[in-house]
Amino acid sequence: MKDQYRETDVVRNILDIQFGVLSAQDMQQLSHAHIVSSELYNSAAGGSRQPASHGVLDRRMGTSQKDLTCETCAKNLTDCIGHYGYLDLARPVYHVGYFKNTIHILQNICKTCAHVLLKPKDKGSLCEQAKRINSYLQKKALYKRINELCKKISLCAYCGAQNGTVKKLPPLKIVHERFKTVKKGDPILTNYFSQFDTALEYNKELEAQLSSNVVEFLNPSQVLDLFERIPLADLPLLCMDQQFSHPKDLILTRLLVPPNCIRPSVISELKSGTLVDT
């Protein structure tokens, strides 16, 4: 259920603060407009242009003009606090701020079944430790230890799939060297290459490509699919609490559109102003 607009001039006591990652659902809850139109203005007859409904200048996100009122709270420019909108991305994208965390999680999980790579007997005690400790530094140290342990495991204990090194490639690409630890001539590699037999018959040039190191590029859609499949019981091992954040929230599928009144000024040679309803 979406909260209706609430007055902000209510006195509240802040008892504690909990940080988390905004989920796509949270962004929708925070917003007052769903942005689906790429139009800025409706071309109205008579020359007076109006912000396009469901566009980024929609007045439900507030106004930037002195003589107009906000369509959400009906207040003017001075009193309206501004309201967010949201827009859905056509495809998931990596969040630049969470990119490092995304790579760390990928190093810790199986790139086939999404379970944390640790053996079942190790998971129990590490999970207990993760739940017990509260200090940031202790959590960071435990997270590092789990990451080091996972990086050493190449065969998944849950689905038997081969896992290798996960690395960042500039600017924002992720590569998985699945067979990094497998020796040449191993049946796993022979099986893997056999799927290219028909392709090789028709395209000899592929041979050169296949003989070099086999790498898989992980695109944001694949990573999102993996993160969605991480078992909830494994989340403490990634130092995440499902109540406040989930690994899938690290991949962006939706963006918050800032209120009109907080958008930055854009200086141009012709005129200066804000990128808002002018």
Site residues (CB under 5 A) for Zn ion? 62, 70, 72-73, 80, 110, 112-113, 156, 158-159, 161
What angle (nearest 5°) sits at the alpha carbon of residue 55, between those of residues 50 and 59? Answer: 55
Question: Closest distance between Zn ion and the C-beta of residue 144, in Å?
Answer: 22
Question: Closest distance between Zn ion and the C-beta of residue 112, in Å?
Answer: 5
Are 28 and 253 within 8 A, CB to CB?
Answer: no
Q: Is the bond preceding 171 in cis, omega lying within 30 degrees of 0?
A: yes
Give 71 or 249: the residue with its C-beta nearer to Zn ion. 71
Q: Choose among 101, 259, 118: nearest CA to 168.
A: 101
Give 150 or 252: the residue with its C-beta nearer to Zn ion. 150
Question: Closest distance between Zn ion and the C-beta of residue 114, in Å?
Answer: 7
Q: Tokens 């590092």 sit at which residue?
A: 144
Question: Closest distance between Zn ion and the C-beta of residue 91, in Å?
Answer: 25
As a residue count, the chain comes to 278
Give 99 or 158: the residue with its C-beta nearer to Zn ion. 158
Give 113 or 182: the residue with its C-beta nearer to Zn ion. 113
Question: Closest distance between Zn ion and the C-beta of residue 46, in Å?
Answer: 27
CA–CA gap between residue 181 and residue 190 (Å, rounded): 14
Give 72 or 245: the residue with its C-beta nearer to Zn ion. 72
Strand partners, 266: 273
Q: Tell me the angle at which helices 136-151 and 120-132 cross, rounded to the nearest 10 degrees.
A: 170
Q: Is the dihedral of CA 56, 59, 64, 65 positive or negative?
A: positive
